[in-house]
Amino acid sequence: MPEQTASKELQLFAELITKQAAIFGRDITLAQLHTIPELRLDAAGNLAGFSGDPQEIAKKLLDAWQQLSPFLAKKIAYPLINR
């Protein structure tokens, strides 16, 4: 995967995670992120990188968010993905 594309996707994932943490709190968000093995988190719990198919990772992030609140997933996360 070209580095520029990976950087763009990493930025998108970071935005999704930041919004999720603002709504649900950091602890709940980190618990959800630890269920997605393709994401690499640093010691502080910040997104450090990812491996694998970015579309699959985005789907897993959205699925995790939908488990917590289907309404918020549609209202906030999907517009980020579709821009």
pLDDT digits (tens, 9 = 90+) for 18-56: 988 998 899 999 999 999 999 999 998 899 999 999 999
* Residues spanned by the domain of 24: 3-81
Residue 75 reports pLDDT greater than 90: no
Question: Which band of pLDDT confidence, cut at 50, 70 and 90, is reported for residue 3?
Answer: very low
Smallest CA-to-CA distance from 76 within 33, 11, 24 is with 24
Smallest CA-to-CA distance from 33 within 60, 66, 11, 73 is with 60
Count of structural domains within the chain: 1
Query: Taking the mean position of all CA atoms in its chain, how far away is CA 68?
Result: 14
Largest CA distance in the chain: 34
Give the E-state strand segments of 1-83 in sequence order.
39-41, 47-50
